[in-house]
Each structure stands twice: as C-alpha cells, then as structure tokens.
Chains A and B, each alone.
Chain A
Amino acid sequence: GAGVSQSPSNKVTEKGKDVELRCDPISGHTALYWYRQSLGQGLEFLIYFQGNSAPDKSGLPSDRFSAERTGGSVSTLTIQRTQQEDSAVYLCASRTGGNTGELFFGEGSRLTVL
C-alpha cells in the first residue's frame, strides 16, 4: 500500500477484555515499531521488529502485552485483560533497515478502556 495502515482506527472495550491491534507496514520495510502515545507522556516505545524477530521488546509495560509479526509484514499487538491505564493511541511505524532512515507512521489505533 501507499503507507502504513493500522486497524481498527478506534476501539472501545470494557476493562478485562482482550484487544488486538493490527499494523500493515510499507511493503519492503524490514523494521517495524510499536509506540504508545498518551497525553503528557510523549511517544513511549513498546517493541521493535527486524523481520519477524523482536530484538527489543523492553518497552512492553507488562506481560499482558505481546506482539508478533508474520511473513516479515503484518504485525499484531495484543493486550490481554485490558485496564483503564491502557487507554492511549497505539502507533505503528516502519522503515528500511538502517538507523538513519525515516520512520513512516500509521494513523494510529485509539484504544479506550471503560
């Protein structure tokens, strides 16, 4: 596709439910990142994929959070037993392999936990 695509754009769920957020990166981009954007918190790094492996998952806030990437393309971020503090915009970004390359962001998935 033309850019990074994320779905759903908006998700409202009840506390305790599981949610899945999907990211479809730009074709050919080997590196994929998940960030969380909260008011007053900036952009919080969650996890980074190079191909299908995750060399850095140190930003995942708890074991309720997990992510996978298949076929070097689509990634899914799963949050189990959601809590109200999980409410945020979850951003996905991709880039080609180097450290100086531009990060291309999706529009984000806004999660609201009631």
Chain B
Amino acid sequence: AQRVTQPEKLLSVFKGAPVELKCNYSYSGSPELFWYVQYSRQRLQLLLRHISRESIKGFTADLNKGETSFHLKKPFAQEEDSAMYYCALSPRETSGSRLTFGEGTQLTVNP
C-alpha cells in the first residue's frame, strides 16, 4: 500500500521568510514523488516532480529515501505563493496506476 502524509494542514509565514512544507511517504517499492498546487479559484496543477530535479517558482524538493520524505522548500516566500499544496506519490514500477495524494497544506504568506 502507498500512503502520503502532510503533517501540517495550515502553515503561515511572512513574506521573505523561508518556507518548508513537509511530506512523508510510505511505499515499499520505488516511488515517483510530485508536488501539486491549487491557487485560489484555479484548477489543481503540477508544481514539480522529483525526477526532473528542477526548481519551479523558486521551489525545490529533494527525495530523501532514508527518511522517506519529499519536503518542499523555498528560501524567500512571496505573497503569490499562498495556495493549497499537495504532495503525491505514484509507483514507478507499475505501468499505469493511481497517484496517491496527501491531505494538503494550506500555505498563507502574509505581507
């Protein structure tokens, strides 16, 4: 079974402060990890995936297999980063399968 846990439902920081959204996963095989974001009144969209090792909008996430974590980080938060963030996992070895999401973290960046 696969499981994704986001321990913080709400996270509030001030503009310019560093932000870290936590994600832990449970999966016995080889996972693909993703972060999806939903801005106010917009549809859910991909922010980044670990396989790409990219930085999007200043956000990065590193897969730590030892700690089974995929935390999302940004050194200087901006007000436009306020949104709901979901961590998600997909099994790499199974061709075509579900993407399992965490419960989400609502990030608020205050001015």
Point out residues on A near B: beta carbons under 8 Å. Answer: 3, 31, 33, 35, 40-43, 45, 48, 50, 55-56, 59, 91, 93, 97-100, 102-108
Contact = CB atoms under 8 A, between A and B. Distances in A.
A98 B92 CA distance: 9
B103 A91 contact: no
19 contacts: A3-B43, A42-B86, A43-B44, A45-B100, A48-B96, A91-B44, A97-B96, A99-B90, A99-B95, A100-B49, A100-B90, A100-B92, A102-B49, A103-B36, A103-B99, A104-B45, A105-B44, A107-B43, A108-B43
Given A59-B98, A99-B32, A43 B104 contact: yes
Contacts of A98: 95-96
Contacts of A55: 96-97
Interface of B: 6, 9, 32, 36, 43-46, 49, 51, 86, 88, 90-92, 94-104
B73 to A, nearest CB: 21
B104 to A, nearest CB: 5
A48 B46 contact: no
Contacts of B43: 3, 105-108
Nearest to B4: A42
B96 A50 contact: yes
Contacts of A103: 36, 46, 99
A48 B90 contact: no
A53 to B, nearest CB: 10
A60 B14 CA distance: 40
Given A97-B96, A99-B94, A41 B44 contact: no
B28 to A, nearest CB: 16
Contact of B9 (A40, A59, A93): A40
A48 B98 contact: yes
A55 B96 CA distance: 9
